[in-house]
Structure 1
Amino acid sequence: MKTRAVRLYGKRDLRLETFDLPAIKEDEILVEVISDSICMSSYKAAVLGPDHKRVPRDVAEQPVIIGHEMAGNIVAVGAKWRHLFRPGEKFAMQPALNYKGSMDSPGYSYRYCGGAATFAIMPQEVMELGCLLKYEGEAYYDASLAEPMSCIIGAFHASYHTNMGSYEHKMGIAEGGKLAILAGAGPMGLGAVDYALHCDRRPGLIVVTDVEAARIIRAETIFPPAEAKKEGVELVFVNTKDIKDVPGCLKALTGGAGFDDVHVYAPVKAVVEQADQILGRDGCLNFFAGPTDAAFSGMLNYYNVHYNAAHVMGTTGGNTHDMIESLRLTEKKLINPAVMVTHVGGLDSVAAATLNLPDIPGGKKLIYTGINMDLTAIAEFALKGKDNPHFAKLAEITARNRGLWCAEAENYLLNNWK
């Protein structure tokens, strides 16, 4: 079986190659990858190369396939797993294995397992840990995006609150409470809004901030506050760019009481400090955004930590239960991970897109591995459609869907793009 894949050989050395996969062993599974979204973690691995904790030291001699937000079809099943899986089933995958203390993970560490490929081999530890997940939804991209959605869901589950005089931690955001999502009009923030509106532990108030007017406008288009009202949630978007007293403005939206939960979606000192200042009593601050600066810090009011029961914590990634929740919510069409997607491309666009990810505006970059296609913003489909009828059709489909990628667009692309 030949595969076409993007492999990492060293720092900033990504190569699109075609090569042979070995025959699967009895404890392995062969899969066809249909979609894979690009994660900032892949950028970090590509830039750091063998200095990355998950990338093998001998990657120059034994290159690895990148990409870990993958979905596709099971092609062949080794004898050990035939009682659980069969060819033709759709799959998603939880890449955070933590197998016997090892940091090895698909998309970082394996020669034959990664999402930026047409075919890949799932190693036995993926199945042993229950990380190869069946998916019964309509669209492959939903299953790819279940991994980043699981990170968001994990953050909601990890937040906690207490009762005065009790040491018991009540896990999860405050039901019916006040939630602030700071720097929240980007891809992960929009995923958080979607989950908060449709999970089983909804807040009564959601305040989303950002400093870019275009992102705020797009967010309001995707999540009209009037529709949020139907879910019993007051949704407010605030552009904080020109506000002198941001904490004062945001606390005023809570009647001065402050927020029960504050999630921070950008590693910016000013934003982290705003989050600390708007916490109410027993408020929980979740620092979601991972900084690249090991010395990143900000001012924290320890008086409030002591006397106001303020909690500060952070999460990175989600677990398998979080990902299963994402898949099930998507299958029931209760959440729509497409709110995170702003660009679509083919396998030939992965290397450049990954290496330049911080400089490409917008949200998630969704890749269909079986095609060649320049990474293209959904907002540019109409312009490109003047010369390419396929882009014209994709522009028509997405325009009918509030500018979002959707199952109809995916089906059209897979059936018509050459």
Structure 2
Amino acid sequence: MTATVEPTPATMRASVMTGVGALQIEDRPVPEPGAHQVLVEVAAVGVCGSDVHYYRHGRIGDFVVEQPMILGHELSGRIAAVGAGVDPARVGQRVAVEPQHPCRRCPQCRAGRYNLCPHIEFYATPPIDGAFCRYVLTDDDMAHPVPDSMSDDAAALLEPLSVAIATMRKAHVAPGTSILIAGAGPIGVICAQTARAFGAARIVVTDLVASRREKALQFGATEVLDPTAVDVAAIEPVDAFVDATGVPAAVVSGIKAVGPAGHVVLVGMGADEYALPVSHIANQEITVTGVFRYTDTWPAAIHLVSSGAVDLDGMVTGRYDLEHVGEALDSDSDPASLKSIVEPR
């Protein structure tokens, strides 16, 4: 049995990816929440690079789109109905959705690394549908309440902010440290803001595009570099390097810029394999790791935005409805675009 404010419709509209570069609007059944689930009426969905990659290429590594799928995993909304095991008072609550459903029983889940659960179901990762639609289901504890002072857009963008928080934790960014970030796209800019919020004193951002370098300065960078004009590997050594490009040359030069006992975090999607400067890594005892989503980051993300330490609203550069999801996915071709929002009303 579920509790509702008002009856939910039987069907909803959804933007469905039917093939590489192909989308269509379909009517889909509105799902019913299970005992410990909530039904969220979606308010805003951010467009992520992974959505774009699936749309253009039909796959990311081993994740292949083999059947029609709804994209979108950065979302916020309002709880429209709850399952029998959820407090009915949650109906009507504004929430940001953590878009993953771990099994909660495997060794990785029990160790607190539920992002590495081999059985995880993640929005908009084949074959799981995402949020470019009117309603979605999520586990009740993955629907995080947000304050009324936070916009729907910002609540949706807590998801990429969570990636940045997980990155800064792995990069050991602390007050007074220095960090180099390759790429001034959405994740690079959010990482710059988050590094500042974590107390980094020197935040260097590289990008090929001048307008994006200027954006990075507006959102936390203390200096920006054109990697075609400057030897990034020869800059004053930094404590941490974050790659948000996936470009092998950027990764190699960034690692070489890291000083003794520093940390490297690979975030960007690029080639599956490439050569690394192993002698520098070994001789300087540099730790190299990746980031695969996040665990327990939403409370920190909500605090950073609510306190004003991170500005997510200022990163929104375009809004689209369900009929124009294709345009939203292609908006990254404009260097002035940072984050596009789909409003599935």
Confirm or deny a common fold (TM above 0.5). Answer: yes
Unaligned runs of 5+ in 1: 160-171, 226-234, 252-257, 371-418
Select which of 95, 98, 112 maps to 1:94.
98
Give TM-score scaled by structure 2 length: 0.83
SS of 1:329's equivalent in the other structure is helix
CA positional deviation for 1:289 = 0.9
Query: Aligned letter for 2:25?
Result: L
Q: Aligned residue for 1:368?
A: 343
SS of 2:122's equivalent in the other structure is coil
Query: Residue by residue, what CA displacement relative to the aligned partner does 1:38-85 show, whole Å, maximum 9, x if unpaired?
Result: 11212333345589756675x3xxx443211110111111221126x5
SS of 2:39's equivalent in the other structure is strand
Q: Which has the larger radius of gyration?
A: 1
CA positional deviation for 1:174 = 4.6
Matched ranges for 1:286-325 at <5 A: 286-291=265-270, 293-295=271-273, 297-302=274-279, 304-319=280-295, 321-325=296-300
SS of 2:101's equivalent in the other structure is coil
The number of aligned residues is 321
Q: Aligned residue for 1:114?
A: 130
SS of 2:303's equivalent in the other structure is helix
The answer to whether the 8 A contact 1:175-1:203 is kept is yes
Select which of 257, 270, 289 maps to 2:249.
270
| Residues 1:348 and 1:132: Cα distance change in structure 2 (over 3 Å) | same
Q: Aligned residue for 1:338?
A: 313
SS of 2:45's equivalent in the other structure is strand
SS of 2:121's equivalent in the other structure is coil
Query: Aligned letter for 1:197?
Result: R
The structure carrying a bigger helix percent of its residues is: 1
Cα RMSD after superposing both structures: 2.6
| Residues 1:28 and 1:64: Cα distance change in structure 2 (over 3 Å) | farther
Question: Aligned partners of 2:218, 2:245: CA distance in 1, in Å?
Answer: 22
SS of 1:327's equivalent in the other structure is helix
Question: Aligned partners of 2:31, 2:229: CA distance in 1, in Å?
Answer: 58
Query: Residue by residue, what CA displacement relative to the aligned partner does 1:372-415 show, whole Å, maximum 9, x if unpaired?
Result: xxxxxxxxxxxxxxxxxxxxxxxxxxxxxxxxxxxxxxxxxxxx
SS of 2:85's equivalent in the other structure is helix
| Residues 1:50 and 1:270: Cα distance change in structure 2 (over 3 Å) | closer
The answer to whether the 8 A contact 2:37-2:83 is kept is yes
The answer to whether the 8 A contact 1:67-1:108 is kept is no
Question: Aligned partners of 2:197, 2:162: CA distance in 1, in Å?
Answer: 14
| Residues 1:5 and 1:338: Cα distance change in structure 2 (over 3 Å) | same
Q: Aligned residue for 1:18?
A: 27
Select which of 143, 149, 157 maps to 2:169.
157
Question: Aligned partners of 2:241, 2:32: CA distance in 1, in Å?
Answer: 49
CA positional deviation for 1:34 = 0.7
Question: Aligned partners of 2:325, 2:343: CA distance in 1, in Å?
Answer: 10
Unaligned runs of 5+ in 2: 1-8, 106-117
Query: Residue by residue, what CA displacement relative to the aligned partner does 1:355-383 show, whole Å, maximum 9, x if unpaired?
Result: x466454322111222xxxxxxxxxxxxx
Question: Aligned partners of 1:214, 1:357: CA distance in 2, in Å?
Answer: 16
CA positional deviation for 1:142 = 0.8
Q: Aligned residue for 1:351?
A: 326
* 4+ residue segments displaced more than 4 Å: 22-27, 47-57
Matched ranges for 1:25-174 at <5 A: 25-47=34-56, 49=58, 59=67, 63-82=68-87, 86-99=90-103, 101-108=118-125, 114-120=130-136, 122-123=137-138, 126-127=139-140, 130-136=141-147, 137-159=149-171, 172-174=172-174
Query: Aligned letter for 1:308?
Result: Q
Query: Aligned letter for 1:298?
Result: A
| Residues 1:110 and 1:117: Cα distance change in structure 2 (over 3 Å) | farther
CA positional deviation for 1:324 = 2.4
| Residues 1:178 and 1:27: Cα distance change in structure 2 (over 3 Å) | closer
Query: Aligned letter for 2:161?
Result: M
SS of 1:240's equivalent in the other structure is coil
Question: Aligned partners of 1:115, 1:50: CA distance in 2, in Å?
Answer: 18
The answer to whether the 8 A contact 2:242-2:266 is kept is yes
Question: Aligned partners of 1:203, 1:222: CA distance in 2, in Å?
Answer: 13
Q: Aligned residue for 1:165?
A: none
Q: What is the percent sequence identity of the aligned residues?
A: 22
| Residues 1:51 and 1:220: Cα distance change in structure 2 (over 3 Å) | closer
| Residues 1:73 and 1:109: Cα distance change in structure 2 (over 3 Å) | farther
Query: Aligned letter for 2:180?
Result: A
Query: Residue by residue, what CA displacement relative to the aligned partner does 1:283-314 show, whole Å, maximum 9, x if unpaired?
Result: 112122121x323x134142x33332122222
